[in-house]
Chain A
Amino acid sequence: MSSERLAVTGVGLCTPLGPDPVAAIDGGGTAVRSRADLAGLPDDRSAEVERIDLRPWLKRRKDKKLMARAAQLALAAAGSAIGDWPGDRAHLGLFLGVGREAGDEGESEAALLVAHRRGRMDVACVAGPCRDLYPPLLPLKTLPNMALAHISIHLDVCGENGAWAGSAGAGMTALRAGAWAVLEGRCPAALVGAADSLANGGAIRDRFRIGGAPPPPVGEAGVMLLVEPEAVALARSAQIHGWLRLPPLSTVGRRPAHHAALGDCGAADGALAVALAILRREASAVVSAADPGHPALPVEISVDPGPSCYTPARHGENA
């Protein structure tokens, strides 16, 4: 544990209820909808970000086509969180919770359909028609760490980093690792958070096909916080959204409670609960989240009295 606190000087959110979802959630709103393209599956509901506008941050617009949903959500959140941070991005840390590898958006379906004969994979078919149809860049789109890669590339972030795969605990691991890295001086500041999409059509179809559908409703979100040492933030008169502290691992906090409004956002769930507590301007809160079968990881936030300095970026929302 550490008794020191870090300043949260940037918040970036990309959720199905927009970049500032607190009022809608607290008012009983929900982004969970039935989807026509999922008709016929055992469950046709999801909470999805309608539009993710990455134009403010993309170096090459066509690169968006190389990004899975989670990578797009991550970049949108990171771009918002980093804002006009004046430090040296060559050493800015980047710590991200990511989900399991996303299903593709149907790009591989034609290739996979011709890869089997009489219900079994046939290597001759793979080598022939499947090979011709298989999208060569698909693995690079769907690998979980590509979210980290795209943030690094488009925002020029080069410092200490990590991508933790899993569900809600992965994002909390990333938050804690990034906070530690800043507290220890391994990087001057860090982008910490998570992004995941359980709601894209390809992922849902794949999971139903293989029988491993997550419990509905499924959601998606990108959540990033920019954290830096308290003294540094105060010295540069940064806008401070709140404070982040690492309580002992044994500390029990409250669990994410936004599923009815935003769906299960997978690896982003824990980080999203932390960010929502900051945006609600809670004086103090401990949030915990865990992957199934693993110990829960806590993060403590606090917010000073006064008005919010959060200015939501208009990069994606359903409203």
Chain B
Amino acid sequence: MSRRVVVTGYGMVTPLGVGVARTWEGVVAGRSGVGPVRRFDASALPVTFAAEAPDPGGDEGADLKLRLASAAIREALEMSGPIEGPRTGVCVGSEIGRPDLRMVAERLGTREVPTPEELGAMDPAAPTRLAADLAGATGPSSTISTACTSSSQAVGEGLLKIRRGDVDAMLVGGVDVLVDPLMITGFAKLGALSERNEDPAAASRPFDLGRDGFVLGEGAGFLVIEAEQTAADRGSTVLAELSGFGCSCNAYRITDSPPDGRGAYQSMSLALADAGLPPEAIGYINAHGTSTPMNDPSEATGIQRAFGDHPVPVSSTKSMMGHLVAACGAVEAILSVLAIREGVLPPTINLDHPDPRCDLQHVRNTAQAARIDHAMTNAFGFGGSNGSLVFSRRT
């Protein structure tokens, strides 16, 4: 019998604010965190808006990614209490490891040598090392890089490692910062971004007929998960059970999702089976819901296939926070836990005209009160990786 795994802490920084409380307040109010880019003058770019995260400050040097991660990790650890030691591991979803293009461009011109801090920040494992340091975790640590699925899989890996007895506790999550002139230019050239420059707050509109692409966002989300017995021994407050994880590959195309939603279906089905739950037990799905023309109907079809005749309330919180890419899985996992704990289902805002190809039981524009015992959250990535997590109420 494998060990049960529970959530005992979480923290986040999102475009809706620093800390879980601010984000949750914004999500329940249906507030958009999308607006004109403030960090640099984007007026000449094809897309002039994004979902920028507020800078939480801190002492992590010049790198915003590490400051976002640090703030989220510290909040999670403050909630969980100390988890240090060799029986604690770390797994972080982080998809940036490329040489910083801005830096490469500047070095091409000046031949200046970057600082050690600049070099360290470009390492995809930098947030992983930070997480291990802040938690005092000396057990196994790893960095998952599956684009938008990264932190969902990081949470899943944490679950499996605890079940297997490799560790007793894990700090898991993800961070991403992509609001940058070159990233906006590249994604816009791909046709992936919404170009609703005249009305940024209405740009992210998952499942709506008028959607035209995703909104680039940034943020960090981290959870402390541990074996149920470990949590009990420590006297931790159990926030929810992490009860299931499933993942799959589409084997379809690099940028497109299969119209039959097969990868999404497989991922959700595996997560349900892993949790030992029938479809009708799930009371809410926090969808990947990117607001791109192709993702949303593919995911809707996958949900229809997985849940059959059991309509389940669905929303995409990306309508308010944009797409946090490598961080989205962890942030949306935390929101799913909050939906269970607070009895409130976050809405999909800007859902004025639901696409008939996305025929789901939408939580449309306004949050809904509902007592649920189990919630699922999906994350699907460029390249066709899919991850689904199930959280359950613990009394």
Task: Assess the B96–A127 pair: CB atoms within 8 A.
Answer: no
Assembly CA distance A206 to B104 (angstroms): 7
> A115 vs B122: C-alpha distance in the bound complex, in angstroms?
20
Assess the A152–B384 pair: CB atoms within 8 A: yes
Cβ of B100 to closest chain A Cβ, rounded Å: 7
Q: Which of B133-141, B222-230, B278-286 contacts A (4 or more CB under 8 A)?
A: B133-141
Residues in B whose Cβ lies below 8 Å from that of A293: 129
Could you tell me if A101 and B250 are in contact, using CB atoms closer than 8 angstroms?
no
Q: B124 contacts which of A101, A103, A109 (Cβ < 8 Å)?
A: A101
Q: Which residues of B contact A (CB under 8 A)?
A: 40-42, 44-46, 94-110, 112-114, 119, 122-125, 129, 132, 138-147, 153, 157, 160, 164, 166, 181-183, 185-187, 189-190, 246-255, 262-263, 266, 270, 381-385
By a CB distance below 8 angstroms, the chain A residues around B143 are: 164-166, 170
Q: Measuring CB to CB, which residues of chain A are less than 8 angstroms from any residue of chain B?
A: 66, 89-90, 94, 98-103, 108-109, 112-113, 115-116, 118-121, 123-124, 126-128, 130-131, 134, 136-140, 142-146, 148-150, 152-153, 155-166, 169-170, 173, 177, 180, 184, 186, 206-207, 209-212, 249, 291, 293-295, 297
A residues near B157, Cβ cutoff 8 Å: 162, 177
**Contact with B153, one of A94, A98, A157, A162 (Cβ below 8 angstroms):** A162
Rounded to whole Å, the gap between the CB of B162 and the closest CB of chain A is: 12
The contact sample of 19 A-B pairs, CB cut-off 8 A, is A113-B105, A123-B41, A123-B44, A126-B181, A140-B254, A140-B382, A144-B124, A145-B147, A152-B250, A152-B383, A157-B251, A158-B249, A159-B249, A163-B385, A177-B157, A184-B164, A210-B104, A210-B122, A212-B114
B106 touches A121 (CB 8 A): yes
Residues in A neighbouring B102, C-beta threshold 8 A: 121
From A116, A128, A152, B249 is in contact (CB under 8 Å) with A152
Contacts of B101 in A (CB 8 A): 108, 112
B183 to A, closest residue via Cβ: A139
Which residues of chain B are near A112, meaning CB under 8 Å? 101, 104-105, 108
Across the A-B interface, give the 7 residue pairs with the lowest CB-CB distance, nearest first: A149-B383, A100-B97, A101-B98, A127-B44, A152-B249, A165-B145, A112-B105
In the assembled complex, how far is the CB of residue A101 from the closest CB belonging to chain B, in whole angstroms?
4
Chain A residue at smallest Cβ distance from B103: A210
Nearest-neighbour CB distance to chain A for B387, whole angstroms, equals 9
Q: A166-B142, A249-B166 are in contact. Are A136 and B190 (CB under 8 A)?
A: yes
* A92, closest chain B residue (CB): B249
Also in contact, A291 and B125, with CB within 8 A (given A119-B110, A161-B248)? yes
Contact A136 B247 (CB under 8 A): no
Q: How far is the CB of A306 from chain B (nearest CB, A)?
A: 33
Q: How far is the CA of A89 from the CA of B262 in the complex (A)?
A: 14
Q: Which residues of A have CB within 8 Å of B112?
A: 119
Assembly CA distance A137 to B190 (angstroms) = 7
Chain B residue numbers with a CB within 8 Å of A101 are 96-99, 124
- A126 partner, pick from B45, B103, B129, B266, beta carbons under 8 A: B45
Verify A116–B105 contact, CB threshold 8 A: yes
| Cβ 8 A contact of B255, one of A120, A140, A162, A184 | A140
- B381 close to A145 (CB less than 8 A): yes
The CA-CA distance from A126 to B180 in the complex, in Å, is 11
CA distance A120 to B102 in the complex (A): 8
User: Which residues does chain A contribute within 8 Å of B254, judged by CB atoms?
Assistant: 66, 140, 146, 149-150, 153
Are the CB atoms of B45 and A149 closer together than 8 Å?
Answer: no
* Complex Cα spacing A126 to B97, Å: 21
**In the complex, what residue of chain B is closest to A293 when comparing beta carbons?**
B129
